[in-house]
Amino acid sequence: MKKVVLVTGASAGIGKSTAILLAQNGYNVYGAARRMEKMQDLESYGIKPLVLDVTKDESIRDVISRILDEAGRIDILINNAGFGLEGAIEDVPIADARYQLEVNVFGAMRLAQLVLPKMRENKYGKIVNISSVGGKIAFPLGGWYHASKFALEALSDSMRIEVRQFGIDVIVVEPGATKSEWGTIATDSLMKVSGHTAYKELAAKTHKAFTKLSTGLAEPIVIANLVKKGIEAAQPKTRYTVKDMNSRALFILSKLLSDKLMDKLIMSQIK
C-alpha cells in the first residue's frame, strides 16, 4: 500500500518540492497550506491540496480528520510550514513574536499530537520536522526565529525518545540557505522592524549580508531529497543537515570556539 504523507507549507519552496518528489515516487501525498491558489498545480502530480492554517486548532483538526476519513491513516507527517521573523528582540512586538512561535512550534506540535494516536495503533510512523542551521546557531536580529527553531529541535529530541517504543521515528532536517520565499519575507521584516530604530546600523549591515547570500542558494529539491532519504532509511539518522561548506564550517566552529569567539566570527561576516 502507498504510504500516506501530509506535507505542510506545500504552497512553495521546500514543502512544494518535497510534496512533488514524494508523489513522483509512489507516495499518497496531501499538501497543505493557507494559500490554496498556490497549490492548484500540485493536482497534476496526484497530490491532494488542503487549506491549513497551523495557528488555528479547528483548521488543524479538520485537515487531520479529512485525511484519516479518506486514507484511513497518516504514515508520515512532514512539518515544513514556517517563516522567519527578523528584527531586534527589543523591537519585535510581542504579538508578532507569539505568532512566530505559533506557526513554527505550536502548529507543528499540534499536528504531531493528532497524528500520533493512529501511528501508535499502526506501530509505524515518521514525523519529520524541518528545522534550520538556525536551530543550532543564532545570529543577531533573528532571535525570535532562532528561538522557534531551537524549540523545535528540543521538542524533536524529547519526542523521538518518547515514541520510539511505538515504532515511530522523529527526524530533524536542517537546511542552510535555500531558495524560497523565506529570505524575502525575513529581509523585509528586518528593515521594517529595526531599520529605523537604535539597531538601524546593525540592521543595514545584516540586510546587506542577506543580500549577498541570496546568490548561490541551495535549490529546494536538495532538501526534498534529504527528507526522502530520511523517511526511507530503515534506521534513519536523528538529523539530516545540508552539507554545504558554510553550514558545515559553522557547525564545526560552534563546537570548537567559545561563545564570545563565535560572536566575533558572526559579526565579522555581517560587517
CATH of the domain at 208: 3.40.50.720
Cell numbers at residue 130, please?
524541518
- CA angle 145–13–242, rounded 5-degree value: 70
Query: DSSP readout, 17-46?
Result: HHHHHHHHTT-EEEEEES-GGGSGGGGGGT
* Alpha carbon of residue 53 to chain centroid: 15
Domains of the chain: total = 1
Which tens digit of pLDDT belongs to each residue from 126-178?
Answer: 999 999 999 999 999 999 999 999 999 999 999 999 999 999 999 999 998 77
Tell me phi and psi for residue 49, to 5 degrees: -80, 140
Q: What is the pLDDT of residues 199-246, one digit of tens each?
A: 999 999 998 887 776 666 789 999 999 999 999 999 999 999 987 767
Tell me the C-alpha distance between 77 and 125, whole Å: 8
Residues that are catalytic: 11, 131, 145, 149
pTM of the model: 0.93
Q: Is the dihedral of CA 30, 41, 11, 66 positive or negative?
A: negative
Q: Which domain holds residue 172?
A: 4-270
Taking residue 178's Cβ as centre, other Cβ atoms within 10 Å add up to 21
| Residue 136 burial (CB count, 10 A) | 19
3-class DSSP string for 118-141:
HHHHHCCEEEEEECCHHHCCCCCC
Region of residue 74 (phi > 0: left; psi between -120 and 50: alpha; otherwise: beta): beta
Calculate the average pLDDT of the chain: 93
For residue 84, the one-letter residue type is G
Task: Give the distance from CA 77 to its chain's centroid.
Answer: 12
Q: What is the pLDDT of residues 248-265, one digit of tens each?
A: 788 888 889 999 999 999
Which segments within 19-147 are labelled E, that is strand? 28-33, 48-51, 76-79, 125-130
Each as own residue / partner, the long-range contacts of residues 41-44 (CB below 8 Å, 24 or more positions apart, any chain) are 42/10, 42/16
